Amino acid sequence: MARLTSALFVSALLRRASVEGAFAVIARKGAAEAGAIFVRVDGLDGRQWLYAPAPQSFFDEEESGERRFVAAHRGSGEDAPAINARLEKEMRFDSDLWIVDIEDRLGRPFIEVIEDEG
C-alpha cells in the first residue's frame, strides 16, 4: 500500500479537525512528499500534547502505508517551553518536518495514536 504524501495527509487532518469543530493550522510546512509530521494539541484549558511519528518498529510490512503517532509529550500549558524545545531539536535534525497545531477543548489529535508499551 502506498503512503499518502505528507501534504495530502496534513490537508486531510486539517479538514477532519475542522469538521469536528476544532481549529487546526499548519505551524510549519515541511517536505510535501515525505516530511515527518508532528501534531501539537492545545486543550484550551492548560493541557497540551505533542504527537510524533511512531517508530518504524510499530509497523508491520503490509501496514507500511499508514501513518501512526506516539505521544511525545503530555502536560500542562506550563510545559509549552518543553514542547517547543523538543520541536526545535527535531527541526535541527530534520528540516523537512511539518508541525500541525490543533486547538480542541476535548484534546483530540485526529490521528491514529499508538500507545507506547516500552
Domain for residue 92, yes or no?
yes
111 in any annotated domain: no
Look at strands 98-103 and 23-28 and give their pairing: antiparallel
CATH code where residue 40 lies? 3.40.1530.20
Find, among 25, 30, 6, the residue nearest to 14 by Cα: 25
Q: Say which amino acid occupies 105.
A: R
Is 89 domain-assigned? yes
Residue 63 lies in a domain: yes
| Global pTM value | 0.88
> Domain range spanning residue 24?
6-103
Quick check: 43 and 107 in contact, CB under 8 A? yes
Per-residue pLDDT of the chain (118 residues; tens, 9 = 90+): 567 899 999 999 999 999 999 999 999 999 999 899 999 999 999 889 999 999 876 555 455 568 999 999 887 667 788 899 999 999 999 999 999 999 999 999 999 999 765 4
In a domain, residue 1? The reply is no
The total domain count for the chain is 1
116 falls within a domain: no
CB 111 within 8 A of CB 13: yes
Residue 29 domain-assigned? yes
Residue 74 forms part of a structural domain? yes
Query: Do the Cβ atoms of 86 and 50 come closer than 8 Å?
Result: yes
CA angle 67, 92, 9 (to 5 degrees): 20
